[in-house]
Amino acid sequence: MIYRKICSAGVILLLFLVGRPFFPGPEGSRQTDPRRGREIYEEWCSQCHGKQGKGDGAAAARMYPKPRDFTHGAFKFRSTPSGELPTDQDLFRTITLGVPGTAMPGFDNLSRKDRWDLTAHIKTFSERFREETAPKAMAIGRSPKMTKARIERGRDVYVRKGQWIPGTFAADRKSPTSIEPCPQGSMGHPCLPIWMA
């Protein structure tokens, strides 16, 4: 009888833990404190992102890629459709994990509460968070089987959308010196193929 109760409690605990998101949010917006987030931002983030969140902190001039300008409300790392605001979970995840390959470190050294307060403060920089409805994460299904036709279709869409930079596909590479200058990238910063950055 005791064994049965222990197993039942274990199964319930397992279901509870498995059903939670990877970075669960606070139970309500009342639990975040943007004012406390501002203090954390000034101590940990303003050197790169600037006092007003414009990506123009004292260290920004020496960084590539440049720190994000939060005032535009445009974010790369999100689970929402292109052009949409990120979810709070997306911002929290970026704060926690950082952005590998950039100067943006992860701040898992901060408490979970501090990271949620920081998330709330970052949202104060852009009017978009006040004017637009809360975004929903996209449902992402299983990856399709990779075929030559799908790869070619992806390449065609990429080129047609104007994101293609000569030399970024392996078949286009002759040597690094054969790359043509690339256009301005996100937020007016120059873009480079990942293998040259």
- Going along the chain from its start, the domains and CATH numbers come out as 30-131 (1.10.760.10), 148-188 (no CATH)
- Is residue 69 within 8 Å of 126, Cβ to Cβ? no
Residue 57 contacts residue 49 (beta carbons within 8 Å): yes
DSSP state of 28: S
DSSP 103-151: S----TTS-HHHHHHHHHHHGGG-THHHHSPPP-PPP--PPPPP-HHHH
Helix runs in 19-127, H state only: 34-44, 46-49, 88-97, 112-122
Predicted TM-score of the model (pTM): 0.64
pLDDT at 17: 39
Token reading at 116: 């949620």
179 vs 188: CA distance, rounded Å: 20
pLDDT (0 to 100) of residue 188: 62
Residue 2 confidence (pLDDT) = 56
CA atoms of 123 and 185, how far apart (whole Å): 23
pLDDT value at residue 155: 81
Tens-binned pLDDT, residue by residue, of the chain (197 aa): 554 444 444 434 333 333 344 455 554 445 899 999 999 999 999 999 999 999 999 999 999 999 999 999 999 999 998 889 999 999 999 999 999 999 999 999 999 999 999 999 999 999 999 999 878 899 888 888 999 999 888 888 777 776 555 555 555 444 444 444 444 455 666 555 544 44
Which pLDDT score, from 0 to 100, does residue 51 have? 97
Query: Residue 60 has which token pair?
Result: 């920004």
CA–CA dist 187, 110 (Å, integer): 29
What pLDDT is stored for residue 31 in this prediction?
87
Collapse the DSSP code of 16 into the 3-class scheme (helix H, G, I; strand E, B; otherwise coil) and give the result: helix
DSSP summary character for residue 100: T
- Long-range contacts, 22-27 (Cβ 8 Å, 24+): 22/93, 23/89, 23/92, 23/93, 23/96, 25/88, 25/89, 25/92, 25/116, 26/116
Give residue 162's pLDDT: 63
